[in-house]
């Protein structure tokens, strides 16, 4: 169950952290981008429970920093703001283990002239070590993206890894006891392009 929770967090987080697809009037920055600092919050509406019973909407809002541009780009953003979402048919903790739920994400870069990156991941992988987390896309999965830092393959090789502060047992115990309302993202990496 904890892994499922991590997955949904990852999905949402990933959403914003990894894909690249610009839809703004700002310039599209070429090349690729790797970032090593991520923090934020993933919220579950309604809260995740051991029994479920309602459709689930997961949202992520966070910050990205520690980025380095390459692959033909000398423009490195100072930071990024990521938003993401995922919808699942149930708010049960175990339903989040369905690693084929589509993850939608967007990163708005600062300064604004660096544009934004958006994309969709075919799914995610649940990570349990050292804490609950997720990896995007899922094993053998795909990414569809465009925009700044999409690289030569249109963002198809983009990846995201996100971790929370919760261990598997902590996440599971919270879900069963009182319902899991949110996760704090404490670390992560993002590679675009």
Check residues 7 and 95 and name the one with the higher pLDDT.
95
The pLDDT confidence band at residue 26, using thresholds 50, 70 and 90, is low
Residue 191 phi, psi dihedral angles, 5° rounding:
-130, 125
Per domain, the residue ranges of the chain are 2-185
| Alpha-carbon torsion (18, 22, 25, 28), positive or negative | positive
Query: How far is C-alpha 112 from the chain's CA centre?
Result: 21
Confidence class for position 128, pLDDT limits 50, 70, 90? confident
State pLDDT tens for residues 35-70: 999 999 999 999 999 999 999 998 989 999 999 999
Could you tell me the pLDDT band of residue 140, with boundaries at 50, 70 and 90?
A: confident
Q: Which residues, 6+ apart, have CB-to-CB distance to 165 below 8 Å?
A: 131, 184, 186
């Amino acid at each position: 169950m904890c892994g499922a929770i991590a997955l949904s967090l990852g999905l949402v987080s990933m959403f914003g952290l990894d894909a690249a697809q610009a839809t703004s009037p700002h310039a599209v920055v070429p090349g690729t981008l790797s970032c090593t600092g991520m923090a934020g919050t993933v919220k579950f509406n309604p809260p995740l429970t051991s029994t479920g019973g309602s459709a689930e909407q997961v949202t992520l809002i966070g910050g990205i920093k520690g980025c380095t541009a390459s692959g033909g780009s000398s423009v490195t953003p100072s930071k990024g703001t990521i938003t993401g979402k995922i919808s699942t048919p149930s708010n049960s903790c175990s339903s989040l283990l369905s690693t084929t739920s589509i993850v939608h994400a967007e990163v708005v870069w600062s300064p604004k002239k660096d544009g934004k990156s958006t994309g969709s991941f075919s799914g995610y992988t649940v990570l349990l070590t050292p804490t609950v987390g997720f990896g995007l896309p899922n094993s053998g999965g795909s990414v569809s993206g465009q925009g700044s830092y999409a690289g030569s393959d249109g963002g198809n090789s983009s990846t995201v890894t996100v971790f929370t502060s919760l261990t598997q047992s902590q996440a599971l115990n919270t879900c069963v006891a009182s319902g899991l309302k949110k996760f704090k993202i404490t670390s992560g990496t993002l590679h675009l392009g």
